[in-house]
Amino acid sequence: MNFSVVTGKKKEDLLLSEGATLKDLIDQLIEKYGGALKKEIFDSQTGDIKPHVLILINGRSLDQFKERARVILAHGDSVIFTFPVTGG
């Protein structure tokens, strides 16, 4: 399954409060789309973001941010939830 199947959308604009973090955004999305989205993002055993979930903030991988889920988002930031593409 993928995120657009769960949400029914490929893109969505959301309004977050000043100083909102990536975790706040994820919490808002889970509140809106329910447990199926939570299941896609988080490992049920550890509660961590699944290793195969790729989150990009303004084109930069979440792995590049020291704060990870606590990274503060700013007005106009683009956040993409996707899966790595591999081939052979």
Q: What pLDDT, in 10s, does the model give residues 14-72?
A: 999 999 999 999 999 999 999 999 999 999 999 888 888 889 999 998 887 777 778 99
* Contacts with 28 (C-beta within 8 Å, 6 or more apart), sequence order: 14, 16
For residue 30, is it within any domain?
yes
For residue 74, is it within any domain?
yes
For residue 88, is it within any domain?
no
For residue 87, is it within any domain?
no
For residue 27, is it within any domain?
yes
* pLDDT score for 1: 61
- pLDDT at residue 87 tops 70: no
Q: Note the pTM of the prediction, 2 decimals.
A: 0.84
Both tokens of 53, joined, read 């979930």
Total number of domains in the chain: 1
Q: Which domain holds residue 51?
A: 3-82
For residue 9, is it within any domain?
yes
CA distance between the termini of the chain: 21
* pLDDT score for 69: 78
* pLDDT score for 78: 94
> Tell me, what CATH number does 58's domain have?
3.10.20.30
